[in-house]
A and B are shown apart, each in its own frame.
Chain A
C-alpha cells in the first residue's frame, strides 16, 4: 500500500493514540498461540450435528430416531418434542429486540432448505454426522414461495402460521416488518419539480464468509453454571437469549468470546448457542458445535436481497426537491433484523442529499429461502447501490456532470439530518446534527488517485482478439456511528502496583483491533504506554456490559466509556499524589504520566500507583464507567473506480480503485486503513461475483468457496486507501467510525464505471459476465 496517500487533516499532540501501533494480539496470532473457540474443546467434548431440512416448506409428521440412536457413540437425538418452545429472535439486539419473535430452538415446521429439524449428539463429529443421516423424518410438504412480491399476494403460502409468534407485522401476508417515514410533502414537491426521475435496482443474497465458520463450545463449570465459549459479536446478548430460551437465570450463564475468525455481522446472531447451551445443560457434558462451510452459507444470516426504487424530483438548475425510496426486502424464512436492516437502508442513504421532502417506504417479506440478517453496512450498501447509481443516471439524463450534480445537493456540516427522527430503529429516532463533514476532501483524494489517463470508452490497447472498454465511476456515501438511544458500553480500569492497568471491557474485538485501540485510548488518558495496559474483553463474568460489536459503534461508544473510566482512575491517583506531595490536588498538573507540583517536583504515576497500595491510606483504585450513546455522527466516504469491460465475455475487471473515508480521528491508522481496504475487497465481491444461487426448489446451488467467489489476492488491484480526519466533538479524541462505511460506495462506483466505459447501465447485482454480456448485447455492443 502506498502510505503517501494517507492524509491527516487535523493533527494533535498525542503519545499513544493516532499512532500505528501493533495489535495487542498480533504476537500471539503470528506464533499460532492465539486461541479460537474450537481450540478450547478437549477430547472429551461431545459433538452436536444439526439434522437439516431437505424441503423448503414442510411440517414434520413423524421423526424416527431409532436407527440414529443405535449407532455406537450416539448420546441423544433431540427434536422439537424435547426442547422448550419459547419464541425468540436470533438477532443479537437490545432487549426487547425489534425483530419478531418467530423462531424456536426446534420447531414442528421447517421453512427453508437447511432449516433445523433435529440435533444429534455423539462422542465425535464423524459419529454425529453418520447418525444424523439416519434420523428418519416423514414430511408433509407444503407449497413454498421464493419471491417476496409473490409472497405478499393473496393465496400465497403463509410461512409463519404458528399462533405463538409475536412481533410479526402481518403474518397472513408474509410481511415481517413494514416501514413508512415521510418528511415534508413528497407528492407536492414532486409535483412542483421540473423533472421527476425513477429507476429500480436489485440486489442479491450475499454471504459474509468469515474464514472461521460459526463455532460454539459449552460446558458446565464446577458449580454447575453454563459456560459458553463462542465466536460471537454480542456476548451479553447471547447470555440473555440463551438464558431466556432455556429458562435459566442469567446468573447461571457465562459467555466468553475468545479470538474469533471474522464476523462481518453474521456473528451478531445466535446461530448455535441456544442449542449448544441446551445440550450442555441437559447432559452435563461439554459440547462442541461447529458449522461446516456449506452450512455456513445457508444456515446463517446473509445480506437481505432487495428491490429498490428511487424517485427524485429535480429543478432545471439541478436542485433536488424531493427524494423517495421504496424497498421490498427479502428477509428469508425468519425475521431476524427484518425491521432494522431495511430501516437502515433508508436512514443511511436518504440524508446524503438535501431535499425539502423525503419519503422511505419498505416492507420486509418472508420467503422460503435462507434467513437474512446483519451484514457489514446493515442495509446501507443496498441503499447506496440504488441511490448512487440513480443519482448518476439523473445527472446524465439532465445533461449534467454527475459530480457537479451531486455536489450541488450534498449534505454539509451544520445541516440537521431531516429523516433521523422519523426513521429510528422501529421507533422514533434521535435528532442528528451533522457537525463534521470531510466529504469534499474524500472526493479530492480518491478522485485524484484514479483514472484520468484515458478518455472513457477507450479500449485498453489490447490485441486484435479482445475488445475492451475502460471507464471510471464514483460513488459517495455517509454512514452512522452506533445506534442512538440503544448503544451502551461499560469499561473498568483497575490500578496495579507497578503502574500498569487492567482494562476490562465488554466490547468485542472481531479481529478489527478494538482491544488495541481501546487500550490506546486508556493509555493516552493515563499517560502510560500501550504495554502498560492489560486489555481483557468480552467475558460476561469479568467484564462490564457492552451491547457488542455492531453498528460501527465500538470506537465511539465503548471508547467513550474507556476514556471516562480512565479519567476517573487518573483523578483518584491525583488525590493520592496530592497526599504524597503535601499539596492541593487541584494544583497538580498531569502530563506525560507524571503529576507535577507547583514547586517543580514530579511524581511518576508508577510511584503513585505503588503508594496507593502500600502507603498510609491503602486502597484498590478501580473505576467503572459506562456510556449511553444518544448520537450518530456520520462518517463520509468516496470511492472512485476504474474498470475494464470485455465486450466479448462481459467480464468486468477493476483495474484501479481508491476509497477515502472521513473517520473522525484515526486512533490507529494501520487498523483504519485495514477496514477501508477490507471493505473495498468485500465491495468488489458484492459488485461483481458474490451471489447465493438457488434451485427452483430453494436449495442453495453454490455453497462452497469454489462456487461462491470471494476475492482472492489475484482478483484485486492494489487498493488505495485514504484516511480523512475531521475532529468530531462528540467522540472520544474526535472519532466517528470506519467499520461499515467503506462498504457503501464500492458497488455503485463500479456500476457507474461500467456505464462510463460502455454506455450500458447495470441495475442488478452482482454484475456477472452473464448479466453484463446480456446488457451489452441488448445495447448492440
Chain B
C-alpha cells in the first residue's frame, strides 16, 4: 500500500516519516523509532499496556493508526525522565514497590503523569478510575494507586 508522509513530535523531537497507512502507532514507535518501552499485551485495545500520551492524553497505541498522529505530540515512557533524572512519579513507582513484572508500568506511569497534570490532587477513587484502562496482573493495583496518591499529595503541598 502507498505510504503516507507524516510529521509528528515524539518526546519533544520532530520526526518526518513515511508510513504504511495500516501501521499502528505502536509499531511506528517500536519498530521504526526504536522506542521499545511501549509494550503490546493484546493488540486490540483491551489491556492498555501500549498506552502512550498523544497531546498529553492517554491513547491505546496498538489501535491508533500511525498516520492519525500526524501533526501531534506523542509522549512515550522514554520521554518522561529528564535525562538521567526520574520524574517524581517514576521515583515513587521504584521506591514504593509499585512495580512487579513491569510490563504495564510504562502505561501506568504515563496515565498517572497525565492525570496529575489535569488533576493535581485526585482522590483514590479518581486514581482508580484513571488507571482502569490499564490491566495489571501482578500488583492488585494497591501500590500503584499509593504511588500516584503520594505524588499527588506532594504536588498539592507545593
Contact = CB atoms under 8 A, between A and B. Distances in A.
A705 B42 contact: yes
Contact of B101 (A32, A262, A682, A719): A262
Contacts of A20: 97
A677 B140 CA distance: 6
B21 interface: no
A760 B138 CA distance: 32
B104 A673 contact: no
A377 to B, nearest CB: 15
B67 interface: no
Contacts of A213: 41
Contacts of B96: 670
Contact of B31 (A1, A43, A211): A43
Interface in B94-151: 94-97, 99-106, 109, 124, 127-129, 131-133, 135-146
Interface stretch (A141-149, A510-518, A609-617, A770-778): A510-518
Interface in A10-36: 20, 22-23, 25-27, 29-36
A549 B140 CA distance: 21
Interface string B63-101: 000000000000011101100001000100111110111
A33 to B, nearest CB: 7
Interface string B19-43: 0000000000001000111111111
B16 interface: no
A678 B31 contact: no
A210 interface: yes
A671 B94 contact: no
Interface stretch (A526-534, A564-572, A708-716): A708-716
Given A32-B78, A259-B101, A674-B139, A713 B132 contact: yes
B14 interface: no
Interface stretch (B2-10, B44-52, B53-61): B44-52
Contact of B86 (A30, A674, A710, A719): A30
Interface residues of A, number: 58
Contacts of B78: 31-33
Given A1-B143, A511-B100, A718-B142, A682 B38 contact: no
B129 to A, nearest CB: 7
Contacts of A34: 102
Contact of A260 (B35, B101, B105, B129): B101
B37 A681 contact: no
A346 to B, nearest CB: 28
Given A670-B143, A673-B97, A677-B139, A32 B106 contact: yes
A264 interface: yes
A678 B76 CA distance: 26
A225 interface: no
Given A31-B78, A212-B101, A513-B100, A704 B44 contact: yes
Given A261-B39, A262-B138, A30 B94 contact: yes
Contacts of B136: 211, 713
Given A22-B94, A262-B101, A212 B132 contact: no
Interface in A287-317: 292-293
A293 B43 contact: yes
A586 interface: no
A215 to B, nearest CB: 10
A26 B36 contact: no
A4 interface: no
A1 B146 contact: yes
A209 interface: yes
| Interface residue range, chain B | 35 or more
B129 A212 contact: no
B20 to A, nearest CB: 10
A22 B95 contact: yes
A510 B128 CA distance: 25
A705 B103 contact: no
Kindly name the residue among B47, B136, B141, B142 whose own CB sees the greatest number of chain A CB atoms within 10 A.
B142
Contacts of A510: 101
Contact of A31 (B77, B97, B142): B77
Contact of B128 (A671, A714, A719): A714
Contacts, number: 173
A721 B105 CA distance: 22
Kindly name the residue among A23, A35, A213, A680 whose own CB sees the greatest number of chain B CB atoms within 10 A.
A23
Interface in A361-410: none
Kindly name the residue among B31, B129, B131, B139 whose own CB sees the greatest number of chain A CB atoms within 10 A.
B139
A671 B86 contact: no
A716 B95 contact: no
B143 A712 contact: no
A39 B38 CA distance: 10
Interface in A396-452: none
Given A512-B100, A682-B137, A713-B132, A30 B142 contact: no
A723 B133 CA distance: 30
A29 B37 CA distance: 8
B37 A33 contact: yes
B44 A30 contact: no
Given A43-B31, A293-B47, A26 B99 contact: yes
A706 interface: yes
A681 B104 CA distance: 16
Nearest to B131: A713
B135 A712 contact: yes
Interface string A346-358: 0000000000000
A448 B133 CA distance: 33
Contacts of A671: 97
Given A30-B99, A31-B86, A213-B41, A1 B142 contact: yes
B86 A27 contact: yes
A80 B102 CA distance: 38
A263 B102 CA distance: 12
B39 A293 contact: no
A511 B146 CA distance: 19
Contact of A29 (B76, B102, B139): B102
Contacts of B143: 1, 670, 673-674, 677
Given A31-B37, A674-B143, A714 B90 contact: no
B147 to A, nearest CB: 10
Nearest to B76: A32
A264 B137 CA distance: 9
A210 B104 CA distance: 10
A671 B94 CA distance: 11
A293 B46 contact: yes
A706 B100 contact: no
Nearest to A43: B31
Given A259-B102, A714-B132, 4 more contacts: A511-B102, A674-B97, A677-B140, A681-B139
13 contacts: A22-B95, A31-B37, A32-B37, A32-B38, A211-B136, A262-B101, A292-B43, A510-B101, A670-B143, A673-B143, A678-B100, A678-B139, A711-B140
Interface of A: 1, 20, 22-23, 25-27, 29-36, 38-39, 43, 208-213, 259-264, 292-293, 510-513, 670-671, 673-674, 677-682, 704-706, 710-714, 716, 718-719, 721
